C-alpha cells in the first residue's frame, strides 16, 4: 500500500469516526482539517448552511454559505428578503416586483415575447472537418437543442475564429487568411469586402485565435489576433447598431462594412500570441511559446508601444512540488488566453512539460494568474489560490459570468490530462472540469462532463454564457454540453436532442463558439 493511499484511508476512517459519536466520548472527538467541532459533530463551517462561520449560525432566505459567510448565490439579488435571480425570474425581472406578462420570459433582466420563438438562444459554432469546415447554427429552444443545416460562404474554407459587430458575423478564414463579413441571417453568403490578416512580411496563414470587437469613437474597433504570424491586426469599423443594415444590400447581394486597416502590433517571431484581455488602452497578450504576458498600449494602432513584460515561470515554480517532475524535468507555463475581469487581467497558464522523446505532454497543477494593472513588473502578478488540483489540470480557457453582480464570477475550463493513441485519437481524460469562482476568486463548485459507454472521453473546452445558461464545448469529440446555473452549482441539462446525449456539433473540432444575436 502506497503512503498516499494509506493517508487517504486514514482520513476517511477518521472522518467516519467523527460522525459516530456513539463510538467515542465527547472528549475523544477529533475533527479532520477543514472542520470544527459543533456539539458531538464535526462541521465544515466554511460551507455548512446550518453552521456558517460558527456553530449554530444558519443561513436563511435562500442564502448559502460561502467562505464562512451567508450570501446570495452568485448572480442573485435580494427581493423581499429572499435571494432572487433577477436576470431570469419572470416575477422579478431586472428589478424586484417587475412581473412579465403572459407569453413572456425574463431574459437578462428584460421581459421578452416568446410567441414567435424569440426566447430561443442561438449559437454559432465554427466547425473543422476533414477536409475543410463550416458554420453550424444551434438553436437552444424550450424542447432542446436544434441543429440547423451547416452553412459556409463559397469563398471560405473553415473558420479559425468568430466574432460579432452588431448582427454582422466576422469570420477569420483559415486558407485565405482574410476577415470575412457575413450577415447573421444568411451564413452561406459573404461580402466581397475581405481584409487580409497577414502582410508581406508575416507569412501566409494567419491562424487567427481571437476576434474582439469594441465600440470606439462613434464606430467600432476590431482586433484580430493572427497567432501563427505573431501579429495583432486592428481595424476600424462602423457603429455596431448599423452593421447589419450595411450588409443587408437587398435580395441576393451583400453589402460591406467599410472596414479600415488601422495598424497593429508585431510580436517576436515564434512567440505565438494568444487571445488577450484589455483594460483601458492596454492589451495583455499571453505569449504561448515564451510563458510570458506582454502589455501593449494600442491607443494609436499605427504606433503601438510595449509596456511591461510579465514572466509566469516564477509562479509555476511556486506550485506544489516546485514545478518539478519526478524525473527532474520542469513544468513550463504555456498561456493560452487572458480576460479582463473586475479590474484585473486573468491568464490561463496551461502548465505542462512537453517531452519530445515520447511526443507527449505531462500536465502540472492548475494555475490561473492574476495581473494587477496598477502595479509594474513581477509585483503585479499573483496566483489565484484554492483551485482544486484533484479535479482540475491543464487550464486553457476562462470566461467572465455577466450576471449583473458588482464583482463578476469566473468560469475556469480545465481540459485535463489527455492520452492519445497512435492516430491521435483521445483514449482517456483525467481531471477535466469546469470550475466556478465567485467575485473574490474563491472556488464555489465544479462540474465534470458526463459520458456514455463506449464514447470518446470528453475534455472541457471553451465555455460561453447566456443569462444563467452555460454552453461548454468538448475538445475531444466536439460535443456541446448545456449547464443551468442555480444555487452556486451547475446542473447538466438532460434531453438534448435524442433524450440525453449531448450532440456532436462538428465532425472533428469546434474551432470557436459564440452566442448569436437575432438577425
Q: Which 3 state secondary structure label does DSSP give 240?
A: helix
Average predicted confidence (pLDDT) for the chain:
85
d(CA 333, CA 289): 9
d(CA 202, CA 230): 8
Beta strands in 280-432 (DSSP E): 282-287, 292-297, 305-311, 332-333, 337-341, 344-348, 351-355, 360-363, 368-371, 381-383, 395-400, 410-414, 417-420, 426-430
pLDDT at 90 over 90: no
Average pLDDT over residues 472-481: 93
Neighbours of 308 (CB within 10 A): 20
Q: What is residue 241's three-state secondary structure? A: helix
pLDDT band (50, 70, 90) for residue 279: very high
Cα–Cα distance, 334 to 354 (Å, whole number):
10
In which band, very low, low, confident or very high, does the pLDDT at 450 lie, cut at 50, 70 and 90?
confident
Size of the chain, expressed as the number of residues it contains: 519
* CA angle 438–296–158, rounded 5-degree value: 75
Among residues 507, 18, 318, 114, the alpha carbon closest in space to that of 333 is found at 318
State residue 8's pLDDT score.
Answer: 32
Least confident of 6-10, 18-22, 262-266, 351-355: 6-10
Res. 69: pLDDT tops 80: yes
Phi/psi-derived region of residue 103, left when phi > 0, alpha when psi is between -120 and 50, beta in every other case: left
Fold for domain 152-254? Thrombin, subunit H (2.40.10)
Distances (CA, A) of 420 to 332, 363, 425, 437, 476: 21, 14, 5, 30, 10
Residue 290 has a pLDDT of 96
- The pLDDT assigned to 9 comes to 27
Model confidence at 352: pLDDT above 80: yes
Which of 482, 459, 438 lies closest to 393, judged by CA?
459
pLDDT band at 338 (very low <50, low <70, confident <90, very high): very high
- The CA distance from 269 to 265, in Å, is 12
pLDDT in tens, 308-332: 999 999 999 999 888 888 878 889 9
Place of cell 500570441: 273
Report the pLDDT averaged over residues 77-95. Answer: 76
More confident residue, 449 or 420: 449
pLDDT of residue 291: 96
Model confidence over 340-351: pLDDT tens digits?
A: 999 999 999 999
pLDDT confidence tier of residue 157, bands split at 50, 70 and 90: very high
Each residue of 242-276: pLDDT tens digit? Answer: 999 999 876 778 999 999 999 999 999 999 999 99
| pTM higher than 0.95 | no
**Domain residue spans in the chain?**
3-73, 152-254
> Could you tell me the three cell numbers for 49?
448552511
Q: How far is CA 247 from CA 120, 238, 262, in A?
A: 24, 11, 21
Amino acid at each position: 500500500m502506497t503512503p498516499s493511499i494509506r493517508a487517504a484511508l486514514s482520513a476517511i476512517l477518521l472522518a467516519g469516526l467523527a460522525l459516530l459519536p456513539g463510538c467515542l466520548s465527547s472528549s475523544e472527538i477529533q475533527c479532520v482539517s477543514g472542520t470544527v467541532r459543533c456539539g458531538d459533530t464535526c462541521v465544515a463551517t466554511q460551507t455548512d448552511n446550518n453552521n456558517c462561520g460558527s456553530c449554530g449560525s444558519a443561513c436563511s432566505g435562500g442564502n448559502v454559505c460561502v467562505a464562512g459567510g451567508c450570501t446570495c448565490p452568485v448572480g442573485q439579488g435580494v427581493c423581499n428578503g429572499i435571494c432572487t435571480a433577477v436576470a431570469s425570474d419572470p416575477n422579478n425581472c431586472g428589478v424586484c416586483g417587475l412581473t412579465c406578462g403572459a407569453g413572456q420570459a425574463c431574459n437578462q433582466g428584460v421581459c421578452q415575447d416568446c410567441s414567435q420563438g424569440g426566447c430561443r438562444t442561438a449559437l454559432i459554432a465554427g466547425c473543422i472537418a476533414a477536409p475543410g469546415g463550416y458554420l453550424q447554427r444551434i438553436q437552444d429552444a424550450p424542447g432542446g437543442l436544434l441543429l440547423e443545416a451547416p452553412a459556409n460562404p463559397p469563398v471560405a474554407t473553415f473558420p479559425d475564429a468568430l466574432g460579432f459587430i452588431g448582427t454582422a458575423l466576422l469570420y477569420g478564414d483559415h486558407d485565405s487568411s482574410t476577415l470575412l463579413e457575413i450577415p447573421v441571417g444568411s451564413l452561406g453568403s459573404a461580402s466581397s469586402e475581405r481584409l487580409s490578416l497577414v502582410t508581406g512580411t508575416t507569412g501566409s496563414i494567419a491562424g487567427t485565435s481571437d476576434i474582439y470587437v469594441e465600440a470606439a469613437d462613434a464606430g467600432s474597433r476590431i482586433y484580430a489576433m493572427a497567432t501563427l504570424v505573431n501579429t495583432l491586426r486592428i481595424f476600424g469599423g462602423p457603429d455596431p447598431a448599423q452593421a447589419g443594415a450595411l450588409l443587408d444590400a437587398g435580395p441576393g447581394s451583400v453589402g460591406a462594412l467599410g472596414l479600415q486597416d488601422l495598424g497593429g502590433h508585431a510580436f517576436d517571431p515564434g512567440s505565438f500570441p494568444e487571445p488577450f484581455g484589455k483594460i483601458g488602452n492596454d492589451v495583455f497578450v499571453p505569449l504561448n511559446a515564451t510563458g510570458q504576458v506582454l502589455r501593449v498600449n494600442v491607443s494609436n494602432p499605427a504606433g503601438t508601444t510595449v509596456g511591461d513584460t510579465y514572466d509566469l515561470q516564477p509562479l509555476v515554480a511556486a506550485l506544489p512540488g516546485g514545478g518539478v517532475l519526478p524525473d527532474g524535468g520542469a513544468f513550463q507555463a504555456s498561456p493560452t488566453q487572458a480576460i479582463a475581469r473586475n479590474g484585473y487581467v486573468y491568464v490561463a497558464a496551461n502548465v505542462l512539460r512537453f517531452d519530445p522523446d515520447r511526443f507527449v505532454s505531462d500536465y502540472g497543477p492548475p494555475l490561473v494568474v492574476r495581473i494587477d494593472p496598477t502595479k509594474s513588473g513581477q509585483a503585479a502578478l499573483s496566483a489565484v489560490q484554492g483551485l482544486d488540483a484533484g479535479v482540475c489540470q491543464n487550464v486553457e480557457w476562462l470566461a467572465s459570468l455577466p450576471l449583473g453582480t458588482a464583482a463578476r464570477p469566473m468560469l475556469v475550463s480545465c481540459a485535463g490530462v489527455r492520452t492519445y493513441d497512435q492516430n491521435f485519437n483521445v483514449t482517456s481524460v483525467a481531471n477535466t472540469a469546469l470550475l466556478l469562482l465567485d467575485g473574490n476568486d474563491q472556488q464555489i463548485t465544479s462540474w465534470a462532463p458526463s459520458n456514455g459507454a463506449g464514447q470518446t472521453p470528453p475534455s472541457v473546452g471553451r465555455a460561453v454564457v447566456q443569462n444563467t445558461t452555460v454552453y461548454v464545448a468538448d475538445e475531444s469529440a466536439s460535443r456541446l454540453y448545456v449547464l443551468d446555473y442555480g444555487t452556486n452549482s451547475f446542473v447538466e441539462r438532460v434531453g438534448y436532442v435524442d433524450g440525453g446525449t449531448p450532440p456532436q456539433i462538428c465532425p472533428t473540432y469546434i474551432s470557436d463558439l459564440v452566442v448569436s444575436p437575432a438577425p
